[in-house]
A and B are shown apart, each in its own frame.
Chain A
């Protein structure tokens, strides 16, 4: 019985080591630039939006969902209003074409009948605008596979590099001002060596960029306690 437990633990450790070893390489840089003090009170919430595609932004929907989920998780999880609910409640003022491009436009928008009331009703304190995308910036190597009556296999080596570059701009709806920005720049290289069986060593660049940005964003928002 004791021997079985030891063997099981050894297998788990081996699997964990293998998983770490099989990951690709990632370099990361996360920074924030604060313009005003921040903080969040009980009952206040955050909405995470993608900057308008009318302006060429390509932020992925799953990246936004990942940032929302990461901000909401944990002991200091923030209250998140789903962006579709926010946009629908304020229709037509936060559509890709009509959303304010800066805080000056935000001040004008809040003066419109019913807008400030709708925002207050949802308890939204901060709007986080995400800009950026993950893209493949380089690739190389060659890999070929063949199959015959006796079996098949692959031989070769391929690699590719993804760059995840995102900026989160934080607008404080208490004073209708920009609170600052958080940026995340992650570069990950994935490898695919194959000697009969391909062994993928995948760098999860976008996922890491999501967690890195969201963690820093959470700290940025709750960093200063509101009075």
Chain B
């Protein structure tokens, strides 16, 4: 009996020590406020990849601790809400749905291309920071790829409290909100998705989109399309 108790205490002690070196942060559904923009009059099919329903990322701070952030289905709900605000009609497709069974002006397929975060021990500041890079692929109603757009978003939150879990969660939500702002204000300009309301791409446009596609993949970062600290009206 005494031996069993000792083992229990030892197990508790080991789990306490182990949990001191690992932090697990779960991000709940990030709510986006109703935006002050006009909706685009389009029917959109949104294909949500499987990774958006169960996403997690782990960072090891060398010799110190391990941080895991679980986004779960936050990304799926985020894009459903975002495009619901942005377009007149949105139908959500799963990765296995056949798009040909649906009628739409454009199909959008977002992916997570990169996810990183830093904790105060790494950055030597008091802040948690999260970077998310989404790649948005846009297809016309005939299935031709119309454009690809990379969205790089950033969120930062200062450490509050002892653990920092709350701050990391807030930094992740701020990064998603940053992506939402960028998509709402720049997606039509960057991808010309609005033109697809007039019908699928013509043959010449398909060739042009493919060529532009190659250029985009050659670029390291196209975040410069949107000026930080104000509204970039060029081209409007």
Q: Given A58-B125, A91-B181, decide whether A97 and B226 contact each other with a Cβ distance below 8 A.
A: yes
Contact A92 B230 (CB under 8 A): no
Chain A residues with CB under 8 Å of B174's CB are 96
* Nearest-neighbor residue (CB-CB) of A114 within chain B: B36
Contact B229 A99 (CB under 8 A): yes
Contact A91 B33 (CB under 8 A): yes
User: 1/0 per position for B127-157, CB-CB distance to A under 8 A?
Assistant: 1000000000000000000000000001010
Chain A residues with CB under 8 Å of B180's CB are 92
Number of interface residues of B (CB under 8 A): 28
Contact B182 A118 (CB under 8 A): no
Contact B229 A91 (CB under 8 A): no
**Cα-based distance from A74 to B74 in the complex (angstroms):** 43
Contact A55 B36 (CB under 8 A): no
**Cα-based distance from A93 to B125 in the complex (angstroms):** 28
Contact B185 A92 (CB under 8 A): yes
**Cα-based distance from A88 to B181 in the complex (angstroms):** 12
The residue that B231 contacts in the complex, of A61, A88, A100, A113, with Cβ under 8 A, is A100
Is B178 part of the contact surface with A, judged by Cβ < 8 Å? Answer: yes
Is B197 part of the contact surface with A, judged by Cβ < 8 Å? Answer: no
Taking the closest CB of chain B, its distance from the CB of A65, in whole angstroms, is: 11
Taking the closest CB of chain B, its distance from the CB of A105, in whole angstroms, is: 4
Contact B228 A52 (CB under 8 A): yes
Contact A109 B231 (CB under 8 A): yes
Contact B33 A88 (CB under 8 A): yes
Contact B181 A92 (CB under 8 A): yes
Is A89 part of the contact surface with B, judged by Cβ < 8 Å? Answer: yes
**Cα-based distance from A54 to B184 in the complex (angstroms):** 18
Contact B228 A112 (CB under 8 A): no
* Nearest-neighbor residue (CB-CB) of B184 within chain A: A92
Chain B residues with CB under 8 Å of A109's CB are 231
Chain A contact residues, CB within 8 Å of chain B? 52-55, 58, 60-62, 88-93, 95-102, 105, 108-109, 112-115, 118
